[in-house]
Chain A
């Protein structure tokens, strides 16, 4: 029954009551007059109440209005590189095309571009491998980077040459290298597990051989700790792989022909230092600038914190086109954890630790999710919030042509970013970096 119909009924009833009241008044019947008056008052009260809205309607309206704080809009995403389907059938070792195709599907393009393998491949194969490399990895130019807290004096150019030399322990020279645009996903790590990565002992550090048998998932199969039956949950295909120790990450990196990034490389890719003069350099606190913006990184939030697919939070991309350096999961680096400026005094570690960087989905403080902040973890630790990404030096690869420096997708993702956050000069510097061609590397 419609709202208008209710109104008509109420008005008709009120008219009826008025007639009764009038008739009773005329015939001097007190009881009838009282009944009519009461009926009239009730109907008028109902009409007045209806014009304000009924309690049921008010409840329904309240239900529609969110009682809680407005939810954040979903994070911006970027499309992941196309990955060809992988055939699980055995490949004829003599069929180079099939072998290369399979390795490219497994994203082992860096292995194909290693000089020892590249000499056996045709130009077409190398071109395909380099295309995959440029699609999946970002080029970071060479240069100096400051590790640890950046002294204001060093930034402002107040230090002279001797003072800079004194701080040289923290001033690291980095050669140009490629860094994975995204953290390694469950799907990517599955290829390693399915290819028997846990049985190929050559991929593992000799010191860890006794422990490899113990690197199992929750059902006792070889694999990351939180997988079941040697496989991840289908909905987490594009989530970063977690529950892997530093050694598992290292073995995966070897399998794909890469390595773990050093601390200096990781910081350089994120903070993108720009030397303004001999004594002055600018280093970002976050890949997008110097101010934390929780829309650009998956850090602790009041809901239930959890990891997100690697292509989310596209606005947090670095100048060079590397995604999710900050937030989502901590990332293993190759470096040993040496507590620096963030920890006052000399620390005594319970076990030797490897460095992790970038913060994770459950990192609480903004100052612990900066490019400079480092934490440590037992290299055998398989934590729920530690993943990794790989790197490879430009000098370790055979490149047939000069790779482009800055990813177009990254440019697009940064389109809405604040103009002060990005430094076009720095991006230009990356693009202008001369990259050795195949002949140079061979020479």
Chain B
């Protein structure tokens, strides 16, 4: 049995539905009330926010193998810059941009590392922020997602598995690539191979000799350097000695790159956990080398921006 009801015609809703809103990452049209892009699963809030801004936000990739420390690096970077007033100021746009900072810092204050980033793109933390550099009178809008390492690996090995990654990397103006120093020190070649794969993928994505990845700034960050003093003192030399493939590839293909060392924990131990297995625990938090790569990247981007 059917029952007829009178539905008021909300013409303004129809009008809103009629105007498609393109996803900021993959440019696919979406309806105005979509939370995530139907094509790539990037949050539509990015597109809504960008539509109200004078300058288009630039995208910066924070990538690396699983457990390289992307979440900790990004969370710590945002927190440090939001406290830092004289060199650089960071203002988050939207509550969702603060979630990553909140999760990371809460965990680190408890002497724990934040939980692993899930593989599903709709569960990633996207950071949209405004960065001001008082001495340069420069204001930049940036988008930096915290992508899962496993998803990156999957996309690198099997292209188009995660559409959002490919679309995002194509549009990025610069990249922060994290390499796990502890694994390099242990002589495990996986980090070297994965980073090389990532670099190859980047150079394949945008081959344009003028604006392609070969000309875009790439900061290679040797993470967890607090556990390796040699790396901390000379990151370039350490990369040349322990990540020969990456070092060589960068020399050949990336004209604007630099190696950095960064660390967050002064020392680490291991703990057996019933739910997560064997997990690493920081014994204290003393960040170093976190802001420098980002500052270098913005310098390079700023120079390009001014030229443009």
> Measuring CB to CB, which residues of chain A are less than 8 angstroms from any residue of chain B?
67-69, 300, 302-303, 339, 342-350, 353, 359-360, 362-365, 367-368, 375-378, 381, 383, 385
CA distance A67 to B288 in the complex (A): 25
Inter-chain contact B86/A363, CB cutoff 8 Å: no
* 7 A-B pairs (CB sep. < 8 Å): A343-B271, A346-B271, A347-B271, A363-B284, A363-B285, A364-B287, A376-B267
Q: Chain B residues near A67 (CB, 8 Å)? A: 134-135
CA distance A67 to B89 in the complex (A): 12
User: Shortest distance in angstroms between A4's beta carbon and chain B's nearest beta carbon?
Assistant: 33
A68-B86, A303-B86 known; A345 vs B111 contact (CB < 8 Å): no
CA distance A350 to B134 in the complex (A): 44
Inter-chain contact B84/A365, CB cutoff 8 Å: no
Inter-chain contact B111/A300, CB cutoff 8 Å: no
User: Shortest distance in angstroms between A173's beta carbon and chain B's nearest beta carbon?
Assistant: 28
**Chain B interface mostly:** mixed
B132-183 at interface with A (beta carbon < 8 Å): 134-135
Q: Of A342, A345, A364, which contacts B271 at CB under 8 A?
A: A345
Q: Chain B residues near A376 (CB, 8 Å)? A: 267, 269, 283
Interface size class of B (residues with CB under 8 A): 20 to 34
Inter-chain contact A385/B267, CB cutoff 8 Å: no
CA distance A53 to B287 in the complex (A): 46
B71-93 at interface with A (beta carbon < 8 Å): 80, 83-87
Closest to A386 in B: B266
Inter-chain contact A345/B272, CB cutoff 8 Å: yes
**B305 lies within 8 A of chain A by Cβ:** no
A68-B134, A350-B269, A365-B109 known; A375 vs B86 contact (CB < 8 Å): no
User: Shortest distance in angstroms between B269's beta carbon and chain A's nearest beta carbon?
Assistant: 4
CA distance A349 to B269 in the complex (A): 5
Inter-chain contact A363/B272, CB cutoff 8 Å: no
Inter-chain contact B134/A377, CB cutoff 8 Å: no
* CB-based closest 6 A-B pairs: A68-B86, A69-B85, A375-B284, A362-B286, A302-B84, A348-B270
Closest to A378 in B: B267
User: Shortest distance in angstroms between A215's beta carbon and chain B's nearest beta carbon?
Assistant: 14
User: Shortest distance in angstroms between A74's beta carbon and chain B's nearest beta carbon?
Assistant: 16
**B273 lies within 8 A of chain A by Cβ:** yes
CA distance A350 to B270 in the complex (A): 8
CA distance A83 to B234 in the complex (A): 38
User: Shortest distance in angstroms between A179's beta carbon and chain B's nearest beta carbon?
Assistant: 22
Inter-chain contact A345/B285, CB cutoff 8 Å: no
Q: Of A349, A350, A368, A385, which contacts B285 at CB under 8 A?
A: A368
